[in-house]
Structure 1
């Protein structure tokens, strides 16, 4: 089941449309050119998570695209309408338990050529059970060259590397390539040998060292100036981990750093924290350490909002 709620000034709470009936013009530039932006977030027991971070990133993507978007209040009203309509009809399932958790997508396109305002809507749908399986079993991933060096974002901002646009064909092609190689997912690298991100996730790694019998836990992610999308869930986890005594680090990260790590994860708003078992066939750390650290960080992540 999918619920669609269009943001429409004539409907302050949003306008619900039948998801089985065409609702978007075939000439919309989001369809014909991928000219638009989106955000995906999870509503837990009816409450959207990390709303401010997602709105901030949506606004950043809109600025990069020179795209005017509706204000926060209009989005919140439409999100409430979408969650209410979805949960009243079909409770979602998360980790094997019936809940009111819902996947929300906030989508904006430039509309048809010459449109005075963008087209914007909220989509509500169920969370895929495959995401819980990935968290539980972990992932086998491969490195793929993204084809850009790590400084290209500063030299060519029109490439929109730090924006969450609708132009996801390359990301989906990368995932299909990984599946053809027998892998679950991808970690992109730059042409100058830096770790970037996954097609739909941020990359984290952990190093545990001993300081006179006291374990020192360090959590690291690639630096944002390499042209990667700022991860809302990564940011929330970093804040919680710092409060719990973890040291934090921001790249540059190289592939050898991941292969040498005690644990590596792909993290996103919907999948949350999924451990990486192998990269290019090489095991990362040990199963026992991956499981222990994943449990600790997942518990911290569950406290974030």
Structure 2
């Protein structure tokens, strides 16, 4: 392990991560310089490694690297930390390439308060595609994010901020960089990872918040056509946290500003818990 200047060249141009996007990553939000809980993120990183036939990670080594990055960084309210692992250099000895990059997080205060507009976009697969075609890597957090970036550009062309992917059989799935939460009355639902989406670590923490408020939180199939009738829709992720969707495909959705603020307080406190 060594500390290097991220502004200087570090990655070989023949690395599989650069030439093919053949690798995995995880995002960690560090608030007020305090180490967040890591088990769920390491679990997801290891699941992605298994899906791509990459070596399982050394948790102690990654934890030490994260601690060093926090200590080395100037004090800021939030750090966004990326953990990345690739297959290594083409023609090499098979040793993977790994790095950790910590930088100040973007300020999402405004959109946590005001919410976002979103459009539904067809992901092009049925909700059970991952079961019959695991090589599609639908539930893995891999470096090939070109499709997600293209979807966000399409949303921008349509005058929206974000995307909710849908399956060809009509289910709502997730955002390009976020998990989906939907409230109807006292029930909060999120699509299951069985539908070929990324298991959400922030979504899991959000379930704890809603259960503490007396809601029933559960995984369930969510029809894309039913989103328009929801009492609230959120997109949640580790760095941006929870943002309400106030407009979907040009139609307004209800927004509970007080509940959203309380949810974000809960998520921030959970990240400070260690």
> Offset at 1:257?
2.3
Number of the residue aligned with 1:127: 105
Number of the residue aligned with 2:43: 56
The yes-or-no answer on 1:296 pairing with 2:265 is no
> Offset at 1:240?
3.0
Number of the residue aligned with 2:170: 193
Number of the residue aligned with 1:239: 208
Whole-Å Cα distance in 2 between the matches of residues 176 and 50 of structure 1? 33
Q: Which deviates further from its counterpart, 217-226 or 261-270? A: 217-226
The yes-or-no answer on 1:44 pairing with 2:31 is yes
- Structure 1, gaps ≥5 residues long: 1-13, 93-98, 209-216
> Offset at 1:122?
0.6
> Offset at 1:19?
1.2
> Offset at 1:125?
0.4
Q: How many residues align?
A: 270
> Offset at 1:44?
1.4
Number of the residue aligned with 1:112: 89
Whole-Å Cα distance in 2 between the matches of residues 151 and 56 of structure 1? 22
Whole-Å Cα distance in 2 between the matches of residues 237 and 294 of structure 1? 11
The yes-or-no answer on 1:279 pairing with 2:257 is no
The yes-or-no answer on 1:81 pairing with 2:68 is yes
- Structure 2, gaps ≥5 residues long: none
Q: 8 Å contact 2:31–2:268 — kept in the other structure?
A: no
Q: 8 Å contact 1:69–1:118 — kept in the other structure?
A: no
> Offset at 1:123?
0.3
The yes-or-no answer on 1:18 pairing with 2:5 is yes
| Structure 1 residue runs of 4 or more that deviate by more than 6 Å after TM superposition | none
Higher-Rg member (1/2): 1
> Offset at 1:258?
1.4
Q: Decide which structure has greater strand share.
A: 1
Whole-Å Cα distance in 2 between the matches of residues 38 and 202 of structure 1? 16
User: Normalized against structure 2, the TM-score is what?
Assistant: 0.95
